[in-house]
Homo-oligomer: A and B are copies of this chain.
Amino acid sequence: MAVSRFAYVKSYELPDPILPNVYVVFRLDGHGFHRFSDIHWFAKPNDERALELMDRAARDVMDAYPDIVLGFGESDEFSFLLRRSCTLYSRRQSKILSTLTSHFTSCYVFHWPTYFPETPLAYPPSFDGRLVVYPTQTEVRDYFSWRQSDTHVNNLYNTVFWALVQQGGMSTTEAHEKLRGTVSSAKNEILFTEFGINYNKLPTRFRKGSTLVREEEVVAPLPTETMIREPSTNLNDDELPPAVPEVEADTSVQGLDPVGQPTESVPREEEGKPPKTGKKKSRKAKKVSVVKVLHCDIIGKEFWERREDILA
């Protein structure tokens, strides 16, 4: 039973550090989510509950891993940016990759009943992940631009496709056939003339994906211990928060009513985290860093100029 006689096998675990001082992007994708979305009756072309669940899992991951400074999600995929000076797990690739993928997956399954109260999970969904390394700011911006332009292209296609099928009575084959080779303007035209849909008026969540950032937030003291769900008032493009965030913005820490008065609520950690022992709750307002879900353009420079710390 001597452990030591066999312990030499541990020497086969080779080191896999990530190069220092490069940006690390962690991207995960749903595994077999075409089938998964069918089985669970996801609305087409976009299921808001499913997207919110993705955002929720992503927010939890960012709450747990402060080294993540940005998240971007669309459909069944999410990308996260780790700051270049990140020393998480000594930058060991396998450890970072497996832990983040596991954490996201766990949050997704854990929060499922909240977002799909009527639809029990039929089987356990999974995700695959990868780490990609970028040396410069340009590549990081281009990476996120790549994902957001992909969001746009996919969403425009899916919106027309499902309009043709659901409202136009076409078969899926016919709809694909009709759209083959069409450019953006043609798709917009079909949407507008045939179905009266102005693509640009669709929810920004669908058109822009979800961008998760950290912002400083003034947190009001906690008046009660009553357990309530926080409202999920995500921000649209035209509701972009000003450079100095105001208290009424949606946060992951606490629900606030539209005029900034604290509603009866508890911090998020009460819902899905172990109680921290011996930590006395302050009853004074304080500033905390919170994760916010935005649906805004991240291809232009404005987003990045307002948040220079992301690429710092």
Q: Is A6 a contact of B142 with CB atoms below 8 Å?
A: yes
* A120-128, A217-225, A242-250: which lies at the interface: A120-128
Q: Please, which residues of chain B bring their CB within 8 A of the CB of A127?
A: 98-99, 102
Q: Is B143 a contact of A6 with CB atoms below 8 Å?
A: yes
Q: Please, which residues of chain B bring their CB within 8 A of the CB of A123?
A: 110, 272-274
Q: Please, which residues of chain B bring their CB within 8 A of the CB of A139?
A: 9, 12, 21
Query: What distance in Å separates the Cβ of A65 from its nearest Cβ neighbour in chain B?
Result: 11
Query: What distance in Å separates the Cβ of A24 from its nearest Cβ neighbour in chain B?
Result: 11
A184 CB-CB contact with B under 8 Å: yes
Chain A: interface size category: 35 or more
Assuming the contacts A3-B153, A19-B12, A135-B21, asked whether A128 and B102 have C-beta atoms less than 8 A apart, the reply is yes
13 pairs of residues in contact across A and B, judged by CB atoms under 8 Å? A1-B153, A10-B146, A22-B135, A95-B130, A98-B101, A101-B101, A102-B102, A102-B129, A106-B125, A107-B124, A109-B109, A122-B272, A123-B273
Name the prevailing secondary structure of the A interface residues: helix
Residue of B nearest to A36 (CB): B274
Copies in the complex: 4
A150 CB-CB contact with B under 8 Å: yes
Bound Cα distance from A299 to B127, whole angstroms: 34
A11 CB-CB contact with B under 8 Å: yes
Q: Which of A64-112 touch B at CB < 8 Å?
A: 84, 94-95, 97-99, 101-111
Residue of B nearest to A106 (CB): B124
Q: Is A6 a contact of B129 with CB atoms below 8 Å?
A: no
A133 CB-CB contact with B under 8 Å: yes
Query: What distance in Å separates the Cβ of A130 from its nearest Cβ neighbour in chain B?
Result: 5
Q: Please, which residues of chain B bring their CB within 8 A of the CB of A98?
A: 28, 97-98, 101, 127-130
Q: Is B103 a contact of A124 with CB atoms below 8 Å?
A: yes
Which 3 A/B pairs are nearest by Cβ-Cβ distance?
A6-B146, A106-B124, A135-B135
Query: What distance in Å separates the Cβ of A250 from its nearest Cβ neighbour in chain B?
Result: 22
Q: Is B149 a contact of A19 with CB atoms below 8 Å?
A: no
Q: Is B109 a contact of A152 with CB atoms below 8 Å?
A: no
A259 CB-CB contact with B under 8 Å: no
Q: Is B145 a contact of A124 with CB atoms below 8 Å?
A: no
A7 CB-CB contact with B under 8 Å: yes
Q: Please, which residues of chain B bring their CB within 8 A of the CB of A134?
A: 9, 12
Q: Is A126 a contact of B109 with CB atoms below 8 Å?
A: no
Bound Cα distance from A31 to B35, whole angstroms: 30
Beyond A21-B136, A101-B102, 7 extra complex contacts between A and B, CB < 8 Å: A3-B149, A9-B142, A12-B20, A60-B124, A101-B101, A102-B105, A109-B110
